[in-house]
């Protein structure tokens, strides 16, 4: 296999990644409502898939490697799935985000005996 044939998939994947980067940047400036987030995440997933499949060669190596990768993704899905069930079905009591402020000192300076403990 000559150098050109070897680097071709890498070069094509790089070009596709750059195109997807520009696409996701452009889409972010269009008012699409909820689709903005969906498109951004879908493009991120496509970019990630390109990097994994073309650059990381998951099909090479022992099958235990693919099992490890799938177990990792499955565990992450479990984490997201069960947590979403919890947060999604719970009535949200929106706590006002606390504004940081400087509290007055607890002990006032001045003369006099120290208070007994």
Partner 1 sequence: MAAVLPARPTPEAAPQDHEVGLLGMWIFLVTELLFFGGLFLAYAVARAHAPEAFALAGAHTHVVLGTINTALLLTASALVAGAVSAGEADRASRAVPWLLGLAAALGVAFLAVKGAEYVSEWHEHLVPGPDFALRDVGGAQLFFVLYWTMTALHGVHVAVGVAVLALFARGTHRLSAWATPRRVEVAGLYWHFVDLVWIVLYPLLYLMGRHP
| Site for partner 1, rule CB under 8 A | 1, 3, 6-7, 10-11, 13-14, 17-18, 21, 24-25, 28-32, 36, 40-41, 43-44, 47-48, 51-52, 54-57, 60-62, 64-65, 68-69, 71-73, 75-76, 79-80, 83-84, 87, 92, 94, 96-97, 99-102
Q: How far is the CB of 105 from partner 1 (least distance, A)?
A: 16
Task: Please say which residue, 101 or 107, places its beta carbon nearer to partner 1.
Answer: 101
Q: How far is the CB of 104 from partner 1 (least distance, A)?
A: 15
Cα gap 25→47, rounded to integer Å: 13
Of 48, 50, 70, 66, whose CA–CA distance to 58 is shortest? 66
- Yes or no: say if 49 and 16 are a contact pair by the CB < 8 Å rule: no
Cα gap 66→93, rounded to integer Å: 42
Task: Please say which residue, 31 or 115, places its beta carbon nearer to partner 1.
Answer: 31
Q: How far is CA 44 from the centre of its chain?
A: 10
């Amino acid at each position: 296999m000559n150098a050109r044939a070897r680097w071709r998939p890498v070069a094509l994947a790089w070009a596709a990644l750059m195109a997807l980067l520009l696409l996701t940047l452009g889409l972010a400036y269009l008012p699409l409502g909820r689709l903005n987030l969906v498109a951004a995440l879908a493009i991120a997933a496509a970019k990630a898939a390109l990097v994994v499949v073309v650059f990381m060669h998951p099909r090479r190596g022992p099958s235990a490697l693919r099992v490890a990768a799938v177990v990792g993704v499955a565990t992450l899905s479990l984490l997201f799935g069960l947590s979403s069930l919890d947060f999604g079905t719970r009535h949200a009591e929106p706590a006002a985000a606390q504004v940081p402020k400087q509290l007055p000192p607890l002990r006032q300076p001045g003369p006099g005996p120290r208070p007994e403990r």
